Amino acid sequence: MAQKIRNKKKAAAAEKNTIIVCGIVAFAVVVILIASVFAFGKGDGKDSGTSYDGESGGMSTNADGTSGGDTTGLETEDLPVISDTEAPATDAESIGGETEDASNEVSVTVERAADKNDSSEVVMLYPLIKSDGGRGYDIASINELITEYMNGHRDSMCAGVEGEEYEYIIENTNLTYVSDTFFSAVVSGHFYAGDDAHPTVFAYGINCDLPGGRLLEPSDMILDFEKVRSAFTGGKFKLAYGEDGLMDETNYEDMITRYMPDYDIYPEVYYTKDGFGMSIELVYTLGGYALFEIPLSTLGAAVYVPGK
């Protein structure tokens, strides 16, 4: 009887040991499965496209020099846009070990040239194309046209004063509009000869069709002078620059009377981002000139629209 009890105890102990061993094996299997999921389960069949260098977390670049991975939601820095004469040129940046132009925008700068002697002083501020953004424009020829035009304007105003004391000073060249195919600028300054009662104050526009490689004349841009004239006398043009109280001293009708397209006499023209502007010549006591602007959409087909 005692032997049977001992045998039952041994059988129970063996069964208990078997259960413990099975439990340990099962626990080990579960641990292995969890470790496998942790090591390999992250990749749920989707390729992120981004690789990292060791533990540093540094993103590597693909063969084409671009960084892998989804860039959705990342902040990017806008390229500089030319808005005035001091706007900086875009520097080149290193991409994939190669130096390339970081911008495909047209870049126009203002360059100064000055000459002074005992009898005269001349200051020129030329709006010149610095870069065409890889479009293949004939930059050298266009810049030569601009230089010739501005020098011709100066020569015409200074005619007859050679050997006399005089000054021709361009005080400002304002880039009012620059696009991939067109740029517009307003050049302003004064001319003064020694025996003049007062200086002649001037402002004229430079409008360049880049793909055509040419400068446009006012007659190329004012296609329906009567419609433009009607909008001007109707007060639809707004004064953008002029003497304080100008409209108390003159009126729209008097200011535009001197312009006669039949004799090829037009106001100087320029463009802004969404507008059309005219430089109206005035007498010295009224400031010499005034700038008036109107939305391009208001004039419709009466004027040339850059890029269309």
- Please state the domain extents for the chain: 79-87+100-216, 217-308
CA–CA distance, 150 with 204 (Å, rounded to integer): 10
* Helix or strand run (H / E) with residue 280: strand 275-281
Using pLDDT thresholds of 50, 70 and 90, give the confidence band for residue 7. Answer: very low
Span 134-175, pLDDT tens digits: 999 999 999 999 999 999 999 999 998 877 899 999 999 999
For domain 79-87+100-216, which CATH number applies: 1.10.1660.10, 3.40.630.30, 3.30.565.40, 3.40.30.10? 3.30.565.40
- Among 207, 150, 205, residue whose Cα is nearest residue 181: 207
Q: What is the mean pLDDT of the chain?
A: 77
Q: Would you say residue 179 has pLDDT above 60?
A: yes
Average pLDDT over residues 213-225: 98
CA–CA distance, 296 with 269 (Å, rounded to integer): 13
Q: Would you say residue 21 has pLDDT above 90?
A: no
Span 54-90, pLDDT tens digits: 333 332 323 333 333 332 332 323 323 323 333 333 2
Cβ contact 225:304 at 8 Å: no
Q: Which of 75-84, 118-127, 287-296 has the lowest mean pLDDT?
A: 75-84
pLDDT, residue 195, reads: 87
Span 245-288, pLDDT tens digits: 999 999 999 999 999 999 999 999 999 999 999 999 999 999 99
Q: Would you say residue 218 has pLDDT above 70?
A: yes
pLDDT, residue 197, reads: 94
Contacts by 241-247, CB closer than 8 A, 24 or more apart: 241/290, 241/291, 242/286, 242/287, 242/289, 242/290, 242/291, 243/286, 243/287, 243/290, 246/286, 246/287, 246/290
